[in-house]
Structure 1
Amino acid sequence: MTQLFDPLTYIHSVDGDVFTDIISRLSGYLSVCSKCKESEVSDNLRSFVSYAKTVLDQNGKVYGSVSDMVQLAIRCKSTYPSVAMAAERLLVSPVSTVDCERGFSRVNIIKTDLRNKLAEETLNNLVRISIDCNDNFCYDDAFKKWAAVKERRILM
């Protein structure tokens, strides 16, 4: 999707071969997402490419980044709904899998051989606390609250 919104693609494309490939790949994906006909999505993408080329050539504005082109597509949402949907999906797509990998690492730290019978909800809560918790968390207050919920045998 990034190529559709990359200004350098528009500047360096002499013929439409680059966009033909991009449009053919994206139209199939976006037609499934939007539940529209692939031909409609393809026409919508072609129209946006033509519009973007004229905007880049004629308008005095500088569209120097992918985010500028994404904003252009979102501003024209009523005219190019499929392109705006692609732009919105591009904005929320993760850049890398680092967060996922961190989550797996936290699960491996929490769920050890001694804690292999943790309930799924408990494991989810512990992972969430481990990932989202800040350094200012007061463990003493949390322990006191937990201990006050019911009568417990607390060994100290």
Structure 2
Amino acid sequence: MWESVLEVLQNVCQDGSIADQKGLASSLISKMESFEFVFVLHLMMKVLGITNELSNALQQKDQNIVNAMALIDTVKDRIQDLRDNRWDELLEEVRSFCDRMYIPVPNMEDKIPVRGRSRREEQWITYYHHYHAEIFIAVIDLIAIEMNNRFTETTTELLTCISCLDPRNSFSRFHHAKLLRLAEIYYDDFSIQDLQVLKEQLHTYIHDVRRCSDFVECDDLASLAVKLVESRKHLVFLLVYRLIELALILPVATTSVERSFSAMNIIKTDLRNKIGDEWLNDMMICYIERQVFETIDDEAILVRFQNMQNRRIQLPLH
């Protein structure tokens, strides 16, 4: 869409009626037709292309934690490979694009003044150092640091252990030792005696749920918890159910928590800071589950609202 965007900006410059808009469009054309803009654009396309699948996986409501964890390691490896081996490839792509679009390409050995310094101080660096060290390496290192901070060894271990509770494919990911390790991580919730009981309870639990047809349709932790309660097995496998509860309340285990907080920040603004809990809850449900509400006919909602109590006027149904 490069040429299309430039064409639109040129039209704004020629036909725009507001001087500020024409000036902004002219400035954007100059920036887009600079080597640095093209370089940053191609770099971000590389980075976002590497992280795209992981980003999508972590945003899914029914995310597969095992797949997400595998993607984390893959993304880290690809980011490191980009840093170590893909500089020349990226630079060649940028040069090729600039040649096609008639954008001047600087000589990488020429010198430019250090950003943020006066020319009088005579501090100079090469274009190569600027693009390679100050942009390419700096951006990739920042992403790598963020990845390591968000997905530490402890977090990775925790997610891997939680994935062993996954009920899909007849509890195929069940792993006795990792679930015991999960209980050990939550030492405040499981005493030494609880761990001893849990060690045998896990064996009984997995044999029981695999033999019970009621659990065949479970496809996530939430549905598993519901089915355990419905069958009253949460009272039998009390410690296993406690593990499931802990997994469900972890923000890293489901994106619904993050979505809920985002919705609350959108709904409860400064003008609505005195909104009641019940009203806030109702509004958040409508916002978070808007895809469900889109399938409901407006007339059915109006009728139900009208019948809730006597009103001075009748709401129009059409």
TM-score, normalised to structure 1's length? 0.48
Q: Which has the higher contact order (CA 8 A, sep 6+)?
A: 1
TM-score normalised by L of structure 2: 0.26
Instruction: Kindly name which structure, 1 or 2, has the bigger radius of gyration based on alpha carbons.
Output: 2
